[in-house]
């Protein structure tokens, strides 16, 4: 008797798809459906961080003829994962854009696009939130090439900026340019 081997990671993607399917269930409250999208997204982020990076590490560390590479075929698995996830992400976007976002707006919750304009009261409100709740939690770290190696924690949000002096020209991608925004 011969058995077909199902890769555990491809199988796990099917499990996570079941979470996405729950977000389609219009009999559930809107907030629950939104939570299922968040759970799906969080699961997928962790999956890429842990499982896909494992395959990439195998490719980096072993020659193409190594028995482990031959047996597991990490490049083939990564390609298949990306194909599957690509289809699921299209479905994720459709659920959000076609179903959830309009229902949020019906309930007085508007998701702004970068082209939307804010009223003066909204701008003041956001400035207050930033100054009271976000700014006190920012921890700048200056990175100097080959000198500072910060310890980045998993699951944290990081914003990386390249800062320039206002009165200096900059070499960027081989071109000399004045930066748009400076300090």
Pick 99 or 156 by higher pLDDT: 99
Pick from 116, 44, 111: nearest CA to 84: 44
Pick 178 or 8 by higher pLDDT: 8
Query: Could you read off the pLDDT of 105-159 as tens digits, one per residue?
Result: 999 998 888 788 888 898 899 899 999 998 888 888 777 777 767 677 777 777 7
Six-digit token string for 120: 């003066």
Six-digit token string for 123: 């701008």
Domains of the chain: residue spans and CATH: 8-106 (1.20.58.310)
Is residue 38's pLDDT more than 90? yes
Q: What is the DSSP letter of 113?
A: P
Q: What is the pLDDT of residue 4?
A: 65
Q: What is the pTM of this model?
A: 0.69
Distance CA 83, CA 40 (A): 17
Query: Could you read off the pLDDT of 46-92 as tens digits, one per residue?
Result: 999 999 999 999 999 998 899 989 988 999 999 999 999 999 999 99
């Amino acid at each position: 008797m011969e058995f077909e081997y199902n890769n555990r990671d491809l199988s796990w993607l099917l499990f996570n798809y079941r979470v996405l399917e729950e977000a389609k269930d219009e009999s559930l409250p809107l907030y629950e459906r939104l939570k299922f999208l968040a759970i799906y997204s969080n699961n997928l982020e962790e999956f890429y961080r842990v499982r896909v990076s494992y395959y990439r590490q195998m490719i980096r560390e072993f020659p193409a003829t190594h028995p482990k590479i031959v047996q597991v075929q990490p490049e083939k698995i990564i390609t298949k994962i990306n194909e599957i996830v690509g289809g699921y992400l299209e479905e994720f976007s459709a659920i959000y854009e076609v179903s959830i976002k309009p229902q949020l707006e019906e309930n007085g919750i508007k998701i702004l696009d970068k082209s939307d304009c804010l009223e003066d009261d909204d701008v003041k409100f956001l400035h207050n939130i930033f100054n009271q709740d976000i700014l006190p939690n920012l921890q700048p770290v200056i990175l100097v090439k080959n000198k500072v190696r910060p310890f980045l924690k998993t699951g944290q949000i990081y914003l990386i900026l390249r800062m320039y002096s206002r009165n200096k020209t900059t070499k960027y991608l081989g071109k000399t340019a004045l930066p748009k925004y400076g300090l």
